[in-house]
Amino acid sequence: MVTGHGVVTSIGTGVEKFWPEIKRGACGIDEIQAFSTDDLRCKIAGEALDFDPKTHVESRSVRMADRYSQFAGAAATEAVRQAKLEAPFSDGLRASSIIGTGIGGMTTFEKSYYALFVEKKKATHPLTLLRTIGSSAAAHISIEYGIKGPTFGVVSACSTATHAIGLTVQMIRGGLIDLGIAGATEASLTWGAMRAWQALHVLSSEGCFPFSNKRNGTVLAEGGGVLVLEDYEHAKERDAPILAEILGFGMTADAADMVNPDIDGASTAMKLALDDADLAPADIDYISAHGTATKINDANETNAIKKVFGNSAKDVSISSTKSMHGHCLGGSGAVEASVSIKAIEDNFVPATINLEEADPQCDLDFTPNEGRHKEVNYVLSNSFAFGGLNAVLVFGPPPA
């Protein structure tokens, strides 16, 4: 059961701010403000401009952490409050903190290298090591809430958050824990990171246009999210608010190529998730697509959906909210998990904005430009990463 969720995104910090912006089709992609872009070809990104660690992060130790850990701390605070939990948790050994990141403390890395190689300082900040490692966010949350059970980070590029959530679901099902905090965040908007992504030639300098004929690359963003997941009986016993149920999880690897995706890997992950949920493709009302706005990925995802859904592919509503908030890399699956939860709660399918003319290869219902009200009971959420790492979740309504 999902009993709480929190987000940090370029269109709002906190679900109460984020979701109305999703519904109205807001765009958080703009010219980068955090650093000079004079020598960059790509000058746009999705920055979490309203995020303020002094306001959104309660813990002093987390405020001193890297920005990606600060995002995780803020999202966890929101999720835990919504779940009506108090710190420390009553049985820390029966709880977990699985918080991932695709890259880790990139902001700290860049500041440290600048200090050493440009400012010629003899040492970096004493907390440099602790800020950079990819398990820092999970450890911080473990400390904040007295979590003494499984605590670690997950790294699987753009599938990170979905893997973290899925692993937590499996631990609850297996009886290892009763309660888990799961998700991922990313804060990799730095000058050096932009140079690295530019070199791979996958960034757009114009905007994020998933499934569009004019799409020419993805747009990086910072942010992510956290869910509180609980065993049903545990949530019921403490009268927790149950927002949604995670019914299915599937994960595969293409075992083919680092950057070119494979239809079989993506389609098999979707099928495994549906089988795990005991649902047919025709049962799915909405697909939260990975939808990165790169030429190959969008066409591949379209074909993978067709392979799994068959005749139902034309009937299901699909969208990529990355068109609004950008690509949060490892944190994307958690942001889109929140979208899935709210879509069920509000019976609303978000739009894929900037979709004036669809690519003929992307010929499904990608909900162009305006969201729509529709009965939404079951949502399938896709995450497909570099290296052919695929993870898919199926969300359903709270049990009757």
Choosing from 56, 140, 290, 325, the catalytic residue is 290
CA distance 337 to 267: 19
327 flagged as catalytic: yes
| Amino acid type, 107 | T
Catalytic residue among 42, 140, 158, 208: 158
How far is the C-alpha of 128 from the C-alpha of 288, rounded, in Å?
36
Q: Which alpha helices (DSSP H) does 118-231 contain, by range?
A: 128-132, 136-145, 160-173, 191-200
Note whether 364 and 196 are within 8 A (CB). Answer: no
Of 322, 303, 340, 329, nearest to 385 by C-alpha is: 329
Phi-psi region of 291 (alpha: psi -120 to 50; beta: other; left: phi over 0): left
CA distances from 322 to 36, 279, 374 (A): 24, 26, 21
User: What is the pairing mode between strands 286-288 and 379-385?
Assistant: parallel
182 to each of 89, 160, 164, 240, 344, how far by Cα in Å? 15, 10, 6, 17, 20
Known catalytic membership, residue 56: no
The alpha carbon dihedral of 71, 74, 79, 85 has a sign of positive
The tokens describing 231, both together, are 């065993």
Closest CA to 19 of 400, 348, 342: 342
8 A C-beta contact, residue 265 and residue 108: no
What is the β-pairing status of strands 44-46 and 29-31? antiparallel
Question: What residue spans of the chain are helical by DSSP H?
Answer: 15-24, 53-56, 60-63, 67-82, 106-117, 128-132, 136-145, 160-173, 191-200, 232-237, 263-277, 295-309, 322-325, 332-346
Q: Tell me which of 5, 140, 325, 327 is the catalytic residue.
A: 327
φ/ψ of residue 192, rounded to 5: -65, -40
Catalytic residue numbers? Answer: 158, 290, 327
